[in-house]
Amino acid sequence: MKILNPKTWPLFQPIPNEHRGHVKKVLVHELFWNVRLALAGLIAAMILYYWLLSQETDLTRYRMLMITQTVACSLILLYFIFAENVIQQSIRKLRVAGFLASITGGVLGIGFFFQISEIHDPYRIATVMALIVGVSGAASFTFTVSPIAFLSFSLPFALPLFFWLWVSAPGEAGKVLVIMAIPYFNSIFFLVLREYRRRVNLILTELRLKKEQERSESLLLNILPRDIAEELKNSGRAEAREYGQATVLFSDFVGFTRIAEKLSPRELIDELDKCFGYFDQVTEKYRLEKLKTIGDSFMCAGGIPRANRTHAIDCCLAALEIQAFMNQMKEIKHQQGLDYWELRLGINSGPLVAGVVGHKKFAYDVWGDTVNTASRLESSGLPGKINISLTTYEAIKHLFDCEHRGQVEAKNKGGIDMYFLNGILPALSVKGEGRVPSEEFRRIYKSIMRGRNPPYGVTLST
């Protein structure tokens, strides 16, 4: 029957396997602290006990026993003070703690058993019961995080004293007290067990709350940059900041509407997710901040929220990698006889303002003419090409191969100097292919990143 299975009882519910290690670690740490305090108090109480006992009897013949008790408790106290970090496995710590608890209980119980005869008759039974109730009660508080350790200490301590009560106590009083003590010990054990279960449940609740908090923070960090998220959590708002130089990248699919009409909504979302998922990986790789996706448009920026000196280079490297991915997708789709998307990319560098506005559904965004110009560069570009502005070109021209397009008319902007970014300079790329940076490129990049004077007269995008 289910009711006969202890694991179905509330006090015996097992700890989930995935949390067992953490729970045991916390309980062991608390157990060590509890035992340290309890043993220190026990040693002080023993000293007082022996002093009072010495006022009415000669304890010389019990000197070795007293020394054994004191040394045993002191050594075990030293273990619980210094050995917590010596044994690594929590389960092994609990086993050692249970073993030492049984030694302590046995040494004290047997020692008191031999000393009972020295106590005057009127106080013997009262003293024995006071020892049993007082020490086991104190043990119930000490070992609330380990019921097994409680039993390991209490049984070796109490059994010799119960034996004296049953055999040597005058009349039937001792037997009556032993019988009456059974429900007391039963109740106190279940109190320890209940407190242990309460502590386990509290640890599990704290663990779940911590995981929920981490999940919430992870979701927040998927929406906002870490620095902005921290500022928002701490002050309730995030101030917009001006950046003297940053780089904005826009991308847009060519023929999106035409191809989207041929796809089901689910197929369309899957295709976009495949592309934008890869774009996300690239932006993270090059320390760019993804800002938003609007329909089939993707927007990210470099040099925000933490300013850096390589933002223009980072955006160009990311654009080349995205372009290579889209070209590969185009080739695969073409071989399968399927429609494919081509991509226009526009990049511009300059001053802008970045921050969070509004009070609901927070979004990190950027504003300024630099942003508007980047959008115009994307719309004025050609399919499969990366279109960059003069300011971006000046920042990267010593590292990348660019083609001047001249003045190109842009909506509401007039003529803008534009360049096609064709790739990395052959001399600075692996095998001269213009796609993968060479070691020399990386050396120049690190020099710019650290603010040093770069070789080859490379200008900095400050």
**267, 274 in Cβ contact below 8 A?**
no
Q: What is the pLDDT of residues 183-197, one digit of tens each?
A: 777 787 877 878 888
Q: For residue 457, what pLDDT is reported?
A: 47
**246, 315 in Cβ contact below 8 A?**
no
Q: For residue 141, what pLDDT is reported?
A: 67
**Confidence band for 242, pLDDT divided at 50, 70 and 90:** very high
As a whole-number percent, the residues of the chain with pLDDT over 70 amount to 87
Residue 256: other Cβ atoms inside 10 A: 18
Q: For residue 461, what pLDDT is reported?
A: 43
Topology of the domain covering 239-457? Alpha-Beta Plaits (3.30.70)
Q: For residue 459, what pLDDT is reported?
A: 45
Question: Left (φ > 0), alpha (ψ -120 to 50) or beta: where does 295 sit?
Answer: left
Contact partners, residue 445, CB within 8 Å, separation at least 6: 310, 313, 399, 437
Q: What is the pLDDT of residues 275-334, one digit of tens each?
A: 999 999 999 999 999 998 888 899 999 999 999 999 999 999 999 999 999 999 888 888
Has residue 45 got a pLDDT over 60? yes
Structure tokens at 21: 């290690």
As a whole-number percent, the residues of the chain with pLDDT over 90 amount to 30
Output the pTM of the full model.
0.63
Q: Which residue has the tokens 């005057």?
A: 120
**311, 349 in Cβ contact below 8 A?**
yes
Q: What is the pLDDT of residues 254-274, one digit of tens each?
A: 888 788 788 888 888 888 899
Has residue 458 got a pLDDT over 50? no
Q: For residues 444 and 451, give the distance between their C-alpha atoms in angstroms, rounded to a whole number.
A: 11
Q: What is the DSSP letter of 57?
A: S
**204, 19 in Cβ contact below 8 A?**
yes
Q: What is the mean pLDDT of residues 326-346?
A: 88
Q: What is the mean pLDDT of residues 205-215?
A: 86
Q: For residues 145 and 197, give the distance between their C-alpha atoms in angstroms, rounded to a whole number.
A: 8
Structure tokens at 89: 């496995």
Q: For residues 368 and 171, give the distance between their C-alpha atoms in angstroms, rounded to a whole number.
A: 99
Every domain of the chain and the residues it spans = 2-216, 239-457
Q: Which residue has the tokens 């919430």?
A: 216
